[in-house]
């Protein structure tokens, strides 16, 4: 019997049942800025509850900071807006559909699990997965122990709201983040930030076609591309400096996959520019792969996590 798989993002929710895939607009703060977070969370639970078949296994990838041990979703800017929400997401699903065996996994952890399954080699010591869409986060797994080291709240790599390392003009570095902070990585490099960065750069004619899941433009100005990639390149540079056993890095999410080859080339270009004597030669660094939503599916990763493919260790 096929399990029912769900990937909840700030923009879209994807349901996968065998070969059937359905994409539905997520009832999120991103789409409904004026709706109350509690109402949006309830609506999201009902959306899943009404689609899941009876008496099945359902594995959910949730785009929120989430501790699977305590079943607490702490928050998600794109889904529920700023602040802390403490939503017992799995229990809400169980209450609505007690006939279903639900599991819930953070979407970055789920992405890391599927990425590792698809691309890791047996000699890889650590694998890191970065997702850049309506939010930004990363997760690193230790191989071969298959452990993800997390803090007391079950979290690791919630980097989107760290200060961005950027050499852009001050107006860009001072952009307000969706969380209310200033100059965060997400305020420059996440999908919803791109039009604001363009405006600060004075790109008046910025009205590009958007066809990616998270609203990333398909074509954009060279300068804009350089600015939105820089905090990501610096984040990766920092992670690799601190964790030299990272052998494989995956970059996923709607922004890089929406922009495509140009994003990849710009990231490689910035990462291969030596900035100091400690920078390694390009061929000595970890393998860097940009992956599309077809290649790395968080909902498949949620199923892998339910099987214990990777283990969160506090």
Q: How many chain residues interact with Zn ion (CB under 5 A)?
A: 5
For 263-287, give the secondary structure using H, E and C.
Answer: HHHHHHHHHHCCCCCCCCCHHHCCE
Asked if 179 is part of the footprint of Zn ion (rule: CB under 5 A), the reply reads yes
Least distance (Å) between residue 156 CB and Zn ion = 17
Query: Nearer Cβ to Zn ion, position 41 or 159?
Result: 159
Asked if 181 is part of the footprint of Zn ion (rule: CB under 5 A), the reply reads yes
Residues 6+ positions from 186 with CB-CB distance below 8 Å: 77, 135, 136, 160, 161, 177, 178, 179, 193
| Piece of the chain touching Zn ion by CB under 5 A; list 14-22, 173-181, 255-263, 303-311 | 173-181
Asked if 16 is part of the footprint of Zn ion (rule: CB under 5 A), the reply reads no
Cβ atoms of 236 and 287 closer than 8 Å: no
Least distance (Å) between residue 179 CB and Zn ion = 3
Sheet harboring 136-142: ordered strands across? Answer: 287-290, 246-252, 126-132, 136-142, 147-149, 311-313
CA count, 13 A, side-chain hemisphere, 55:
1
Least distance (Å) between residue 132 CB and Zn ion = 14
Cβ atoms of 19 and 4 closer than 8 Å: no
Asked if 161 is part of the footprint of Zn ion (rule: CB under 5 A), the reply reads yes
- Cα–Cα distance, 8 to 30 (Å, whole number): 13
| Piece of the chain touching Zn ion by CB under 5 A; list 6-14, 25-33, 146-154, 174-182 | 174-182
Asked if 227 is part of the footprint of Zn ion (rule: CB under 5 A), the reply reads no
| Piece of the chain touching Zn ion by CB under 5 A; list 84-92, 153-161, 266-274, 293-301 | 153-161
Least distance (Å) between residue 161 CB and Zn ion = 4
| Piece of the chain touching Zn ion by CB under 5 A; list 177-185, 203-211, 219-227, 239-247 | 177-185
The residue whose Cβ lies closest to Zn ion is 177
| Piece of the chain touching Zn ion by CB under 5 A; list 122-130, 139-147, 184-192, 224-232 | 184-192
Least distance (Å) between residue 150 CB and Zn ion = 20
Residues 6+ positions from 314 with CB-CB distance below 8 Å: 69, 150, 151, 152, 154
Q: Which residue has the tokens 């928050």?
A: 75
The radius of gyration of the chain from alpha carbons, rounded to an integer in Å, stands at 19
Give CA angle at 13 (239, 84), nearest 5°. Answer: 60
* One residue of 90, 139, 184, 237 binding Zn ion per CB under 5 A: 184
Query: Nearer Cβ to Zn ion, position 40 or 186?
Result: 186
At residue 254, φ and ψ (nearest 5 deg) are -65, -30
Which stretches of the chain bind Zn ion, using CB under 5 A?
161, 177, 179, 181, 184
């Amino acid at each position: 019997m096929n399990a029912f798989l769900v990937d909840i993002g700030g923009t879209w929710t994807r349901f996968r049942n065998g070969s059937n895939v359905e994409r539905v607009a997520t009832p999120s703060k991103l789409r409904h800025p004026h709706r109350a977070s509690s109402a949006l969370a309830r609506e999201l639970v009902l959306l899943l509850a009404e689609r899941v078949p009876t008496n099945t296994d359902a594995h959910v990838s949730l785009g929120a900071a989430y501790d699977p041990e305590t079943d607490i979703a702490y928050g998600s800017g794109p889904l529920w807006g700023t602040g802390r929400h403490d939503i017992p997401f799995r229990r809400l699903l169980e209450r609505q559909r007690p006939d279903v065996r639900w599991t819930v996994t953070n979407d970055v952890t789920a992405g890391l699990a599927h990425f590792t399954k698809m691309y890791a080699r047996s000699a890889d010591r650590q694998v890191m997965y970065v997702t850049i869409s309506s939010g930004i986060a990363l997760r690193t797994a230790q191989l071969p122990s298959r452990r993800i080291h997390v803090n007391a709240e079950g979290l690791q790599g919630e980097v989107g709201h760290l200060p961005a390392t950027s050499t852009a003009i001050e107006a860009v570095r001072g952009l307000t983040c969706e969380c209310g902070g200033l100059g965060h990585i997400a305020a420059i490099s996440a999908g919803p930030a791109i039009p604001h960065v363009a405006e600060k750069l004075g790109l008046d004619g910025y009205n590009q076609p958007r066809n990616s899941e998270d609203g990333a433009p398909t074509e954009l100005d060279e300068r804009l591309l350089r600015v939105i990639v820089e905090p990501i390149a610096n984040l990766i540079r920092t992670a690799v400096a601190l964790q030299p056993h990272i052998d494989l890095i995956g970059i996923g999410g709607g922004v890089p996959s929406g922009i495509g080859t140009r994003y990849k080339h710009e990231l490689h270009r910035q990462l291969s520019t030596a900035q100091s004597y400690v920078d390694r030669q390009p061929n000595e660094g970890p393998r860097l792969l940009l992956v599309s939503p077809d290649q790395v599916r968080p909902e498949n990763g949620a199923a892998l996590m339910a099987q214990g493919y990777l283990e969160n260790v506090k």
